[in-house]
Amino acid sequence: MNTNVTTSIDTRPFSIKNVEDLEPWEYYETLRGNGPVAWDEQMNAWAILDFEECAYVEMNEDKFRHPYQDAPQVVVDIKGGGRNITLLSGEEHMRMRRFFLKLMTPPLVEGYRSKHIAPVIGLLMKRILAKGTGKADLTTEFGDQIPPRVIAALLGMPWQDDDMVARILHLHEEIMEVIGTGFASEEIRQKGLRVSKDINDMLLPFIRDRKKNPQDDFISRVWSEAPEFGDDLTEEDVVAICRELFLGGADTTVHGIANVLYLLLTNDEIRQSVEADRKSLPAAVEESMRLFGSVMYRFRVANDDCNLGGVEVKKNQRLILLHSAANRDPEKFGCPHMADLTRRPPTDHLAFNKGPRACVGIGLARAEMRDAVSAVLDNLPDVRLDPSAAPPMFKSLFMRSWRPLNVVFET
Amino acid sequence: MQITVFDQEGTTHTIVADKASSVMEMIRDYGLPISAQCGGCLSCATCHVYVDPSWIDRFPVADEFEEAMLELATELRPESRLSCQLKVDEKFDGLIITLAPGTEF
């Protein structure tokens, strides 16, 4: 069924771009035989394929900085302003991180499940069932719609507004494409600035309103609680802070939901385990994140000359932490290409990053993925991939998921 | 080093350090349900444990960074610690801890 695999030996110099729109894992396995670190000329960076080296780099920000730490002004502008958490470093970053974590504590996420996630999933499932066709694309009609609506609800925006939700999704996919290139060309940077302005323009009316009329939402909490800025917090600061909440919430989990649904729809053993005992669903979600991820790689920069995986890396050279390869590192994971719900420990993968920049919205993301799967299993009897429709493919480069997910079910 | 861990449902587990360098790694690598998301660099509170009162004074007190992160933990108690900051050492052999609520993945 999956026809976008790499089927012949690629003789071109290594680049992650060589497997854009193709399933990348066989290519990475071939490359791994030459060592865990490889130079990618097209990306102008060292690609790191093994788990331990990726985790080491992410855990040691004093040795390997995030490229945004010395980002040019145009990148700052594309990211929405200097107070965006990804642009902060050191203690200032950690204070902002604690604020973000405070918005996402486990008890709060449990509350978000009933207050925001359940109504969103309920609406989408109702629409699918109301068609009465016994068919749906579980990406565009379901999974893609959940994260942008949930983060809109959390920010205090009208999550039922279909046009706004479509725009949120489209703009964040576009900005992720720009980020995934490493802001590589003037054309890409200009696109980034245009998209960034459009996202800011979506947020600004709500940011201005909540300054005067605080409510029970993230934007109001940013105004009242964002660390260190107090009364000096400017509108630009709030835009920058909210931009990453918006991005983190709206986009990555879209791919996570598609990937876990794909796993359930294509792996009978996993499907049966989850259907027999819903307690195995969290492990299924973790395995789907390990096997397929959402974000395929992360950038870092070496602060000094160093040796990584037997390769001499020079000061200020870029690194691509290739999570999509490292999460299938055979040194770390036995039978790495197999989904295994008994894997221990289930959470020790890189899909949410490790280190001081590990995903702050992980609890929300997991809740959305699990609740999405449960809703599909509970509401769509005998749901399965539609053999007569276009099969899922693992396309794109930076952000990836199996799509479309055309399914049929009993009505 | 061997420790006794009560998980979030009250089940007891005996865990030996093996290759772990922290109590968090012992718990995580054994496969108990903790997220331990940041991997052990004081950047989250998902390895929160309660150290048995008979043991709590044997560890160095939490520093300001651990205290700041612990403020985000669920159901904080005087014996709360982040297990990534409890280093594996034979002098802690026999340690008893309980996994705190909110650490499940």
Distance CA A270, CA A98 (A): 36
Token pair, residue A55, equals 């985790």
pLDDT tens digit sequence for A4-19 = 555 456 789 999 999 9
Chain A partners of B68 at a C-beta cutoff of 8 Å?
Answer: 94, 98
Distance CA A302, CA A234 (A): 33
Chain B partners of A59 at a C-beta cutoff of 8 Å?
Answer: 39-41
Q: Which fold has domain B2-99?
A: Ubiquitin-like (UB roll) (3.10.20)
pLDDT tens digit sequence for A30-63 = 999 899 999 999 999 999 999 999 999 999 999 9
φ, ψ (nearest 5 deg) of residue B48: -65, 130
Least confident window among A6-20, A127-141, A348-362, B47-61: A6-20
Residue in chain A lying closest to B65 (CA)? A94
A348/B41 CB distance under 8 A: no
Q: Which amino acid is at A317?
A: Q
A58 CA to centre of own chain: 16
Q: pLDDT confidence of A344, banded at 50, 70, 90?
A: confident
pLDDT at A254: 96
Share of chain A above pLDDT 90, in %: 88
User: What is the residue-averaged pLDDT of chain B?
Assistant: 93
Distance CA A288, CA A323 (A): 13
| DSSP state letter for A145 | G
A179 has a pLDDT exceeding 70 = yes
Q: How many beta carbons lie within 10 A of that of residue A213, not counting itself?
A: 9
Model's pTM, two decimal places? 0.94
Most confident of A85-89, B49-53, B100-104: B49-53
pLDDT tens digit sequence for A296-341 = 999 999 999 999 999 999 999 999 999 999 999 999 999 999 999 9
Residue spans of the domains in chain B: they are 2-99
Least confident window among A80-84, A276-280, A327-331: A80-84
A98/B28 CB distance under 8 A: no
Distance CA A388, CA A114 (A): 36
Q: pLDDT confidence of A182, banded at 50, 70, 90?
A: confident
B74/A102 CB distance under 8 A: no
Q: What pairs with residue B28 in β-bridges?
A: none
Q: pLDDT confidence of A285, banded at 50, 70, 90?
A: very high
Q: pLDDT confidence of A207, banded at 50, 70, 90?
A: very high
Most B-contacting residue of A109, A286, A347, A369 (CB-CB within 10 A), to test interface: A347
Q: Which of residues 36-65 of A touch B (CB under 8 A)?
A: 55, 58-59
Most A-contacting residue of B5, B8, B67, B72 (CB-CB within 10 A), to test interface: B72
φ, ψ (nearest 5 deg) of residue A248: -60, -35
B86 has a pLDDT exceeding 90 = yes
| Residue whose token pair is 């993945």 | B105
Mean pLDDT of B53-61: 94
Rounded to 10°, the helix A268-276/A362-379 angle is 90
* End-to-end Cα, chain B, rounded Å: 26
Token pair, residue A59, equals 């855990």
Q: pLDDT confidence of A229, banded at 50, 70, 90?
A: low
Chain A partners of B76 at a C-beta cutoff of 8 Å?
Answer: none
